[in-house]
Each structure stands twice: as C-alpha cells, then as structure tokens.
Chains A and B, each alone.
Chain A
Amino acid sequence: MGKENSAEKALNLIRGRLCDPTSVFRPLSGSSDSNFSKLKFIVSTSITEGCNNSILLLGPRGSGKAAVLDLVVGDLMEEYPDSVTLIRLNGLLHSEDNCAFKEIARQLCMEHHLLFSKMASFDENSQFIIAMLRECGLAHKTIIFVLDEFDMFAQASDLLLYSLLDAMQSVTSQAVVVGISSRLDADQLLEKRVRSRFSHRKILFLPPSREEIDSLLEHLLSLPADSSFPSGYVSQFNEKIKNITSDTRFKDMLKTFLNANSTVNSLLKFIFRAVSSMNLESGLLSLENFKTALSSMQRQPKLEAVRDCSILELYVLVCMRRLEVKEQSSYNFISVMKEYKTIHDSFQTSDYYAQNVCLRAFEHLREREVICYAENRGQSQAVEYRPMKLLISASELHQGMRSHACCPAILLKLLDH
C-alpha cells in the first residue's frame, strides 16, 4: 500500500512537470547563448534604459516560445518588482480591434486597481490606453505587450499594431512589444506603415539537439531525493530510468519519433503517454511503456477507417478504385452501382445487395470522410448523381484491406486487376 502510494505520488509529480511548460524549459535555457538569455537581455535593457523595443519570436508550434517568454517575464518581475506591467493578447481571441482594445483596457485596469466598465466604447478604450502609456512612461514603468499568434493580428487589421507601435514612437512611452508566431514569415504579413515602425528583431526557436534532449529527459524523469519518498524507491526508480535511456532500443525509438516530429511539445506528449501507463504496482517505468506510447502516437487514421469498414463498404471502395483505374475521371453512385453489378455478374459473389442498402453504405463512407463530393457546387442534384472522389490512396486501401479482419479474397484480387 505504501509502495502504491509513493508510485502514485511519483506519477503525479512527473505528470505535473510535463504539463507545466516553464518547468520543462528552464533546464534548456541554462546556457548563455540560448534564446532565453538573448530575450532576457533585450527586454531587461529596455527596462533599465527606458527605451522602446519590439521583437518577434518565431519557431514551429510547440518549440517553447511562450514558455521561454514566461520564464523571462517571471525573472524580470522578481528583479524589478514595480516597474513592469504585463499585457497578454491572443490572436485567436482578440484579432478584432474592439476585442483587443477592450482586453488591453481590462488588463490595465486590473493591474492598476481601477474599475473597468464593460460598456466603454472603442474610442474611450483607445484614449484610455494612450493615456496610460503616457503615464507609465512618465513614471518609468515599462509595459510589456505579449501578442500570441502574431500572424493573426497582422492579417486581421493593422489598427491595433499601428496604434501600439505608433504610440511607442513618442518619447514619453516605455513599452516592449513581443510577438509570438509559428509562421516564419510573420513580419512579411505586416502592412508597410506598420512594418516600418517595427524593429526587425527576430529570435528563432530551433528544435533541440540530441544532448539537450538527453539532459531534458533525465531532468524530467528523475525523482528528487527528498524526504517525501522512501529513499530506496527513489534510487531504484532513477536507476531504472538510467537503464532505459542508455538502452539502444530506446535510443532508436526516440530517433524514429524525432524524425517525424522534432518539437519539444510532441516529445512531452510522448513521455506523458509513456509515464501514464506506468505499472502502479511495481512503481517503475519500463521500456514497454515507451513502446506502447510510440505506437499510440503514430496513428494512421485512414488505415483505421478502412479496417473499420464492413464488407459491403469495402466493395464500394473497390468499385470506385476500379473506375479510377479505368481512367474514368468522374463517377457517381450510379456508375459505382453499375460496376458493382458487373463484378457480381462476372464473379457470382454472394454479397449482392439492393440499391438502398448500398446507398446507405455509401453514406457511411462519406460521413467518415473516406470519400467525398468532388465539387461543392452540385447542390441541386440528388445524392446518387453527384460526382464523388476517393480520399484515400490506392496503397492505403490495399494495406487496409490486407489487414482487415475478414476481407474476402476476391476483393483483393479485384483490386489488383
């Protein structure tokens, strides 16, 4: 019972670490030429010297841009407790100007303990913001604007960006605008007048190297040797982790996984899944956990969809594929039914069903997005006459049918001819 309790506690601890991005990226940001230090240097100089600045963080999704920024901001809040205000905006939520200004005003009010009125109009909000910028500048307080999903702000409309960057040009304001985007060409999306006011500083977030990943794994998966865990258990657990990570099979698994998706976030998901399947009775991780996690991360949805089809649906798919092979560029349900009938006539299969049954099988396939309408315009036609197309390739169909539980051999033969 005690063993299970400590296993559960260990599990909770590791899961908590994996779900919290800042704790993941702190060890990666140790060295002096990392992105963390560069960013920190830029922002802290603008705070201490009282100047304005703008910067873009670019990198693929899940490489830790927001996490590193949070670390930097957290550090700066400690070092300069009263001179930093943080305003966060997200392109998914606040790309409209009204929403954006309202949100900025609301956050400013919360910071400075003012009353925020939801009924304030757009003009009132923008005047308030400009006034606050001036006041904070005069009081030597820096406002840091964090714009997540920067490309959505750039695409939607430039009013917000222009007013922010324009206000920063005046002498009295002290603001730093940090944009975060997963599009590497985010600054090309800006309009000319906004781009001219934007300092083209960019920090690129690249996938971590092998050594960084190894050290990250060790940091994430090792238990701390403090008193909340029985000491024998901790050393046993850490020993097992070392064995696993130095195993060549594990290294190969990791390499295959990182070949497909090399961001830190996906690695975290992989480890999360492996850790969640930890055997709570023994309380130790094993290589099996990582293997099952890998297979469940590498799903092939279209293959699964074909494997889930009933035999009649497989017939429909094979007929469509045969029509494609015969170079019929477009086909609809009626032509598929003709092909179905010819197959039945020539091979005397036992699976010949009425048209309405086949139509329903057709609809099932369409709902599962294995086939779809070839064009969207043909709304005025009945379902049977609208041209359709396959959404899976021939090899996927082949593979799916071969791994199907009870696919009749004749279908495989028909597919090959």
Chain B
Amino acid sequence: MTREENSKVTRRSARFSSSVTPDNPEPNPSHQPTVADLTFGEESITLDALLSSFPGRRSQILDLIRLIGPLDSPALPVMVYGDASTGKTSVALQVFRHLNRPFVYSSCRTCCSPRILFESILNQLLLHSKCSSNGYASAKRCDKPSDFVNLLKEALSSVVETLNSTKPERKPMGKMVYLIVDHVDLIKEWDKGTMILQFLFSLYSVLKMPQLGIILISGLPPDVYYSNVGYTDPLPVYFPEYSEEELRQIFLKNQANKKLYSAFLDVVLRPFCRVTRRVEELSTSLTSLFRKYCEPLDDLTISPNEDLKRRLYSNLKPHITSCLNEIFRISSRPLDGDSRGERRQKASYSSEKGEELEMLDFHMSTSAKYLLIAAFLASRNPATLDASMFDSTGGMDNRKRKRKASEKSMEKKEMAEQEAVMKGPGSFPLERLLAIFQCIASVGDSSFGEEEDEEGEDEATGYDKESKNMMSDILLQVGSCPLEGSIRYRSMVSEDLSLKVARSLSFPLSKYLYRR
C-alpha cells in the first residue's frame, strides 16, 4: 500500500515536468507499514523550493499552509477549488511533503462508489495493504456512512495513539492526521450522491475529533454544493486560472534551451491564450508547434538573435492559424512524420465529446460513403418530399419560378429556419434510409467505372459488414415510434462532412437537399 501510494503520489505531483512512470511492484510482504509511512515518504522540501516549483501559486500555497496551521494545531475543514489543471492536487500533495505530516489521500475519480471510497480511506488508516495473501480484500467491509463513522473513529484513535508514542527520526510529524478527498465534484453524479456529499461536508462535526483535519479538493466552486440539509461550508481556497505571464514561466521551467523557447513563446503564447488557458491543452499543441519552429535550425542549443528570431517567426507564421484551429485535437499522426496519404481511419463523430478525428484523409468504401450521404439526406429532408426528390429520373432540379419574397414570408422563413436549427436533424426508420440509398447509389452507378480499382468489386448497392459497423458511428438510435413500433434513427453527420464526402464521389448533394 505504501509504495503504491507513494508512486501514485509521485506520478500525480509531476504534472508537466517530464513525467516519471514507475512500475507498480507488488508491495513487499516483509515490509510492514508503519505510521511513519502515512507521510509523503520522500525527502521533505523547503518552503522556497515549494514556492519556486509552482510559479504563480505563491499566495495559494501560503494560504493553504496557514490554514493547515502549525504542528498539532486543530483545523476547520478546507476546500480547495478551481478549474481543471490549475494545480490543486499537486499543490496539496507537495504542501504535505513540505510539512511532513501524516495524511490519507483518496480520489473520487478512482474510488467511484461510496463503498470503495470508505474502504480505501480505512485501508490506508489501518495500514492494510491488499496483496495476494489476503486475497486483495479490504481490511473492513463498509458501505454505509453509519458504519464508516464508527470504523473511522476507531482507526483514527489507533493511529493517533501510535503517533503519540513514536519518536520521529527526522522532522516531527505531529499528532494529527489529515484526510484529503480529491475530485469531490464527481460525487454529484453518483447514485445517492447528494447524501454522500452532505455526509462528507458534515463529517468533521459528526466525528468531533480534533486530531483530524479535512481537506476537500473540488473542480467546482462551493456554491454548487449548497443544500438545505447537512451543509456547513468549509473554508474556501481559490485557485484561479494562470495568467499569461505565469503560463510562460510554467512552460519555460523544464526547457533545455530557455532563450530559444522564450523567443518561441513570445510569438505563440498570446494568440493561443485567447482560445484557452488550460495548461494541458496548450502543452500538447505547443510541443508540436515548437518542433516545426525548430525545423530550420541545425543546432538546437544556440540562443537566437533578433534576426534569427524574425526568420523563424516568418517560417512559423502560416502554421499558427491552422494549429489554432486544431488546438483541441489530439492528433493521432506521428509527431515528426507528415505523411497524410497513408492513414486509413474511419470517420466517426462522437456525439458527447464533439471531437472529430482527422477527417481530411480517411478511407471509406464507396457503399459506406453513399450510406453516409443517404443518412444525411434522410435526416435533413422531410419524408413527404422523398417521392418527388428521388424519382426515376435520378434527382432533379426543382427550381420553381422565384417570386419576390414578401416581408411576411421572409419572417416566416426565418422563424422556420430557427425552429429547424433548434430541432436538429430529424429521425427516420431504417427502411427509408435504405430506399434513399438505393436511389442515389443507382445514380452513382453510371460514374462508377472511374472509381478506384480496389472498389471495383464492391457493389455500391451492397450493405456489407463494414458499412454496418460505420452505421453505428453515424446514426443515433432515437426511441421507437409508438404508432409503428419500429426503431427510428437520426444522423449525426455534420453538413461539412457530408459535403466533403459527396464531393469525393462527385455526387451533386445540393440538388437533393431540401431548402426552405
């Protein structure tokens, strides 16, 4: 347990420096954990080292240290809150490394149910490690808050007793134990999450043990937890987003050639900060961009002069805008290669995350492309127009005589457009999709001969296995219609993607789209 906890702790504290990934060995059975293992375990660091390793967090670190207080000083519960990747967890853990006090850490991200959370805390307090000899079982079984309170009281009193009698060899450890619970905002999504949250907030007053200090780390501000029952607000410590200056210091921290990187940051940081200020998102895009920046240089250790800086910037400039538009993409292409034609990926559009994978060069079979277009048309066009759109002459030019639009009809058109935007794509049954597919594929059959050779055998009208797999990516199953009892689907493909696919097939998509 202890070595696992230590390695878990080291990994988390090294966020944007070069990350160390130690392997997790089975805890040595001959190493009996003692109370001293509840501290951070490594060499304690001085306050100056702590402050310098977190640029821009000086006031928050000092605030946290003051609220925790000197040795053996009772403390009220503290809540550290701030946006993602603002350094809350790492700062909290490093503060405890500096103070060298025993603490117990559990995160609600890994402990995803109350039982796991309670048992993890108890295991750490009872110095119990899960290994093969005890069948990887926890020390005590506990899934209700009432049991947890009783067991926690016993465990804490035994730990405090041991702390009272041990003589520490290095810095004194004090007689208090601190409980750190991370990612408290995730509890809201648990089953009975609100009860658990209220319990957690009132834990300090229920336990009435002055030797326990509680620190909660949350991604959401305290006002989302307000409730009528059981809520006593803890003392808040706020971690704001980094300013540009602080971001610059963070990114410069572990660079080999600081002058070169700072010249790079001068031109790049400001436009990127307009989009996002989160460290994790910036670092992924900045690393790839830095590689491009350094491409023309032979020697990466030189410090650039003004002239060189200007040349490097003009070399980089065209890439900056395109990189900005890809800023949230985690590119799956290898970082140094630029081979675009090689990849074979299916285009998929995940609805919840809203991220598109690299879609410019994907490889789809022709039938799959037609299916995609058919699904798009089925969602966009109302069903009643199908007959006229897809008659045997294979699509037509239904341009009526254009009348001058009156103001009222313009207004109605706008309202209808707004409604259409709000409603989103419509739903359709599977038969309609296949019918449209048959129609448009027969249109494309005539121009089929010029398609790529490997597709020659693949009939455009076939509904093969690959297309079936792709369908689950582009279609969303909507409920069953109560009248017909069949399942309806909705297409999730955007207009841009469909246009691109249609262009690759030279399919006249705009003729088939119904425009109000």
Chain B residue nearest to A312 in the complex (CB): B275
| Distance in Å: Cβ of A111 to nearest Cβ of chain B | 15
Q: CA–CA, A144 to B232, complex, Å?
A: 26
**B75–A19 CB distance below 8 A:** yes
In chain B, residues 299-354, which have Cβ atoms closer than 8 Å to a Cβ of chain A? 324-325, 327-329, 351-354
Interface presence of B291 (CB below 8 A): no
A18's closest neighbor in chain B, by CB? B76
Q: What is the minimal beta-carbon distance from A228 to any residue of chain B, in angstroms? A: 15
Dominant SS among interface residues on chain A: helix
> Shortest Cβ distance from A22 into chain B, in angstroms?
10
Please give, as numbers and ranges, the residues of chain A lying within 8 Å of B425 by CB-CB distance.
Answer: 382, 385
Q: A265 contacts B232, CB within 8 Å? A: yes
Closest residue of chain B to A338, judged by CB? B421
Beyond A103-B146, A269-B76, A363-B354, whether A310 also contacts B274 by CB under 8 A is: yes
Are the CB atoms of B199 and A92 closer together than 8 Å?
Answer: yes
B220 contacts A269, C-beta separation under 8 Å: no
Q: Which of A61, A277, A380 contacts B490, CB < 8 Å?
A: A380
- Say yes or no for B107: interface residue by CB 8 A criterion: no
Complex Cα–Cα for A301 and B236 (A): 11
For the complex formed, measure the closest distance between the CB of B445 and the CB atoms of chain A, giving whole angstroms.
32
Asked whether A334 is an interface residue with its Cβ less than 8 Å from the other chain, the reply is yes
- On whether the beta carbons of B145 and A93 are closer than 8 Å, the reply is yes
B275 to A272, Cβ gap below 8 A?
A: no
- 293-327 of chain A: CB within 8 A of chain B: 296, 299, 301-302, 304-305, 307-308, 310-312
* Interface pair B421/A92, CB less than 8 Å apart: no
Q: Write the chain A residue with the least CB distance to B242.
A: A308
**A357 with B69, Cβ < 8 A, contacts A93-B149, A103-B146, A385-B424 known:** no
Q: How far is the CA of A106 from the CA of B150 in the complex (A)?
A: 11
B183 within 8 A of A: no
Q: Do A330 and B240 touch (CB < 8 A)?
A: no
Contacting residues, chain B, for A356 (C-beta < 8 A)? 325, 328-329, 354-356
Q: Is the CB of A334 within 8 A of B421?
A: yes
Interface-forming stretch among A7-15, A76-84, A127-135, A160-168? A7-15
Would you call B490 and A15 a contact (CB within 8 A)?
A: no
Question: CB-CB < 8 A to A353: which residues of B?
Answer: 275, 324-325
**Contact residues in B for A61 (Cβ distance below 8 Å):** 231-232
Greatest chain A CB density within 10 A among B195, B273, B328, B494 is at B328
Q: Cα distance A311–B274 when bound, in Å?
A: 5
CB distance from B115 to the nearest CB of A (A): 15
Q: A383 to B476: give the CA distance in the assembly, Å.
A: 12
Q: A11-B73, A369-B224 are in contact. Are A92 and B229 (CB under 8 A)?
A: yes
With an 8 A cutoff between CB atoms, is B508 at the interface? Answer: no
Q: Chain B: interface residue count, which band?
A: 35 or more
B27 within 8 A of A: no
User: Is A99 a contact of B146 with CB atoms below 8 Å?
Assistant: yes
CB neighbours (8 Å) of B69 from chain A are 11-12, 15, 276
A355 CA to B67 CA in the complex, in Å?
44
Cα A94 to Cα B146 in complex, Å, equals 7
Encode A246-284 as 1/0 by CB contact (under 8 A) with B: 000000000000000000010001001100110000000
Which single member of A20, A66, A385 contacts B422 (CB below 8 Å)? A385
A400 CB–B CB distance under 8 Å: no
> Which residues of chain B are within 8 angstroms of A277 by Cβ–Cβ distance?
63, 66
User: Shortest beta-carbon distance, B114 to chain A, in Å?
Assistant: 12
| Interface assignment of A364: CB less than 8 Å from any CB of chain B | yes
Q: Which residues of B contact A304 (CB under 8 A)?
A: 221, 238, 240
CB 8 Å contact bits of B395-436 with A (1 = contact, 0 = none): 000000000000000000000001001111100000000000
Which of these, B74, B235, B423, B476, contacts A15 with CB under 8 Å? B74
Question: What is the distance, in angstroms, from A379's C-beta to the closest C-beta of chain B?
Answer: 10
- Contact across chains for B324 and A19 when beta carbons are under 8 A apart: no
Let me know if A239 is at the binding interface, CB within 8 A: no
Instruction: Establish whether residues B240 and A308, one from each chain, have CB atoms under 8 Å apart when the complex forms.
Output: yes
Docked pose: A108 CA to B370 CA in angstroms: 75
Q: What residues on A are CB-neighbors of B72 within 8 Å?
A: 12
Residues of B within 8 A of A334 (CB): 421, 424
A332 at interface by CB-CB < 8 Å: yes
Decide yes or no whether B277 CB sits under 8 A from chain A: yes
A window 340-358: CB within 8 A of B: 351, 353-357
Residues from chain B with a CB closer than 8 A to the CB of A357 are 275, 324-325, 327-328
Does residue B241 face the partner (Cβ distance < 8 Å to A)? yes
Question: Given the known A-B contacts A357-B275, A368-B220, are A273 and B235 also in contact in the complex, defined by CB atoms under 8 Å?
Answer: yes
- Residue interface bits B217-229, CB-to-A below 8 A is 1, else 0: 0011111100011
- The interface residues of chain A lying within 8 Å CB-to-CB of B353 are 363
For A106, A301, A357, A382, the residue with the greatest tally of chain B CB atoms inside 10 Å of its CB is A382
Binding-face segment, B93-101, B202-210, B447-455? B202-210
A360 within 8 A of B: yes
Contact across chains for A382 and B476 when beta carbons are under 8 A apart: yes
Query: Known: A152-B229, A272-B235, A301-B222. Contact between A380 and B354, CB under 8 A?
Result: no
**When the two chains form the complex, which single residue of B74, B274, B328 contacts A16, counting CB atoms closer than 8 Å?**
B74
Q: Are the C-beta atoms of B74 and A360 separated by less than 8 Å?
A: no
Query: Which chain A residues lie closer than 8 Å to B274 at the CB level?
Result: 310-312, 351
Question: Could you say which of B75, B232, B421, B476 contacts A332, with CB atoms under 8 Å apart?
Answer: B421
A283 to chain B, nearest CB (A): 12
Contact A367 B84, beta carbon cutoff 8 Å: yes
Please, which residues of chain B bring their CB within 8 A of the CB of A367?
84, 219
Whole-angstrom distance from the CB of B461 to the nearest CB of chain A?
Answer: 29
Contact between B229 and A149, CB atoms less than 8 A apart: yes
Known: A19-B76, A276-B69, A312-B274. A307 touches B476 (CB 8 A): no
12 pairs across A/B with beta carbons < 8 Å? A12-B72, A92-B199, A93-B145, A296-B63, A302-B223, A304-B238, A307-B240, A308-B241, A356-B354, A369-B224, A380-B476, A382-B476
Which of A's residues lie within 8 Å of B, judged by CB? Answer: 8, 11-12, 15-16, 18-20, 61-62, 66, 90-94, 99, 102-103, 106, 149, 151-152, 182-183, 265, 269, 272-273, 276-277, 296, 299, 301-302, 304-305, 307-308, 310-312, 328, 330-332, 334-335, 338, 351, 353-357, 359-364, 367-369, 380-385, 387, 405-406
Q: Which 5 A-B pairs have the closest CB atoms?
A: A385-B424, A301-B221, A93-B146, A19-B74, A354-B325
* A301-B222, A356-B354 given; 20 more Cβ-contact pairs under 8 Å: A12-B72, A16-B73, A61-B231, A61-B232, A91-B229, A93-B199, A102-B146, A277-B66, A301-B221, A301-B223, A304-B221, A335-B421, A338-B421, A353-B324, A356-B325, A356-B328, A357-B327, A368-B83, A380-B478, A382-B424
